[in-house]
Amino acid sequence: MNLTLKIWRQAGPRHTGELMTYKVSDISPDMSFLEMLDVLNEQLNAKGEEPIAFDSDCREGICGMCGLMISGEAHGPEKTTTCQLHMRSFRDGEVITIEPWRANAFPVIKDLVVDRGAFDRIIQAGGYVSVNTGAAPDAHATPVPKPAADRAFMAAECIGCGACVAACPNASAMLFMGAKVTHLSELPQGQPERMARVVSMVDQHDEEGFGGCTNVGACSQACPKGIPQDVISTLNKDLRAALRG
């Protein structure tokens, strides 16, 4: 395959960036999207140009490190992570635009690399159960109904990649937050801190500069783990309960 790539290049956080055009040829449809970028980087290196910076780590769709906006779609046209997207999803001769996640809360570090530290800070605000090591009762002390355990697991599948924010017209992180709140709210272990958690996390979310939710569901459509919008409803419900004091 031969492709034309329009890729965002930005030297650093305070530099202005622009889309640059590159051509790649002899791309195998079996390559992953990131391997295609590896090929481009080898070409650039050989020509004496600095390679394009992009994040990736596990390359098997679970660590959440990778994430590119590919022709206007977070993680590209398939419902998966960028690292698991393969070139057979594209046509020979296609022009592909590659941009970093765009959100003020995710500032660009370089080229396609963004800083998602805001997600860590939202978790720090309350995305945990306060239990010290060694203070735990026997694992069978509290049975958890299977439907609750299953929904908690479904929500806990979030990989924190940020595609929801990238795809959201408001750059909102409600799906990310809803997933964590739902994970912990469904479990008995999450109950004692339930109200304080949701208020604190939502407060941090707003402080980071994410937008509000318009319930259009672009986040769920972009989510590589298919986390449904109803987790945001659980988040809203918990916040409304907290409003009552």
Partner 1 sequence: MATKTSSRPAATARRTTIGLKILMAGTGLVFIGYVLLHMYGNLKALGGEESFNTYAEHLRTLGEPMLPYAGLLWVIRVVLILSLVGHAYAAFTLWSRAGNARRTKYAAVKTAMRTAWMRWGGVFLLLFLVWHLLQFTILKFSVNGDKQGASIQNNPYELVVASFQVPWNTLIYVLAMVALAFHLSHGTFSAQQTLGWTATPHAYRRAKTIGHVVAAVIVVGFLIPPLSILFGLIK
Partner 2 sequence: MTETTVNAGIAHGLYREGEPVADSKAPAGPIAGKWRQRQFEASLVNPANRRKLDVIIVGTGLAGGSAAATLGEAGYNVKVFCFQDSPRRAHSIAAQGGINAAKNYKEDGDSVFRLFYDTVKGGDYRSRETNVYRLAEVSANIIDQCVAQGVPFAREYGGLLDNRSFGGVQVSRTFYARGQTGQQLLIGAYQALERQVAAGTVEQFTRHEMLEVVVVDGRARGIIVRDLVTGEIETHLADAVVLGSGGYGNVFFLSTNAMGSNVTATWRAHRKGAYMANPCYTQIHPTCIPVSGEHQSKLTLMSESLRNDGRIWVPKNREDCDKDPRDIAEEDRDYYLERIYPSFGNLVPRDIASRQAKNVCDEGRGVGPMVGDFRRGVYLDFADAIQRLGRDAVESKYGNLFDMYARITGENPYETPMRIYPAVHYVMGGLWVDYDLQSTIPGLFVIGEANFSDHGANRLGASALMQGLADGYFVLPNTIRDYLAKGPFDKLTQEHPQVVEARTSVEQRTKRLLEIRGERSVDSFHRELGNIMWEYCGMERSEEGLLKAIDLIRGLREEFWRNVRVLGSGDTLNQSLEKAGRVADFLELGELMCIDALHRRESCGGHFRAESQTEDGEALRHDDEFLYVAAWEFGGGDALGEMQQPVLHKEDLVYEAIELKQRSYK
Residues 1-30, interacting with partner 1 (CB under 8 A): 6, 8, 19
Residue choice 3, 85, 179, 218 for contact with partner 1 (CB under 8 A): 218
Task: Confirm if 181 and 234 have CB atoms less than 8 A apart.
Answer: yes
Q: Does residue number 133 form part of the binding site for partner 1 (CB under 8 A)?
A: no
Q: Is 192 in the site for partner 2 (CB under 8 A)?
A: no
Residues 6+ positions from 77 with CB-CB distance below 8 Å: 70, 71, 85, 89
Range 158-187, binding partner 1 (CB under 8 A)? 167-172
Site membership for partner 2, residue 113 (CB under 8 A): yes
Binding to partner 2 by residue 11, rule CB under 8 A?
yes
Candidates 68-76, 142-150, 212-220, 237-245: pick the segment binding partner 2 (CB under 8 A): 142-150
Give the span between the Cα atoms of 230 and 217, in whole angstroms: 10
Closest CA to 227 of 145, 143, 167: 167
Q: Which stretch binds partner 1 (CB under 8 A): 31-39, 55-63, 67-75, 78-86?
A: 67-75
Kindly tell me which of 87 and 235 has the beta carbon lying closer to partner 1. Answer: 235
Give the binding-site size for partner 1 (rule: CB under 8 A): 61
Nearer to partner 1, 29 or 226 (CB): 226
Number of residues that bind partner 2 (CB under 8 A): 76
The vertex-41 CA angle with 55 and 29, nearest 5°, equals: 85
The Cβ of residue 149 has, within 10 Å, a number of other Cβ atoms equal to: 13
**Rounded least distance, CB 137 to partner 2, Å:** 7
Decide which of partner 1, partner 2, none touches 118; Cβ closer than 5 to 8 Å per partner kind: none
Which of the listed partners (partner 1, partner 2, none) does 156 bind, with a CB threshold of 5 to 8 Å by partner kind? partner 2
Helices (H), the chain: 33-47, 117-124, 146-156, 163-167, 174-185, 194-207, 218-222, 230-243
Beta carbons of 8 and 97 less than 8 angstroms apart? no
Please, which of residues 13-72 interact with partner 2 by CB under 8 A?
A: 28-32, 34-35, 38-39, 42, 45-46, 48-51, 53, 55-60, 62-65
Q: What is the DSSP string of 32-91?
A: BHHHHHHHHHHHHHHHTPPPPP---SSSSSSS-----EETTEET-SSSS-GGG-BGGGS-
Measuring CA to CA, how many Å separate 54 from each of 40, 50, 57, 159?
12, 12, 10, 18
- Work out what residue 216 binds among partner 1, partner 2, none; the CB cut-off runs from 5 to 8 Å by kind: partner 1
**Applying CB under 8 A, which residues contact partner 1?**
6, 8, 19, 69, 71-73, 97, 99, 102-105, 124-126, 130, 132, 167-172, 193, 195-196, 198-200, 202-203, 205-206, 209-218, 221, 228-230, 232-240, 242-245
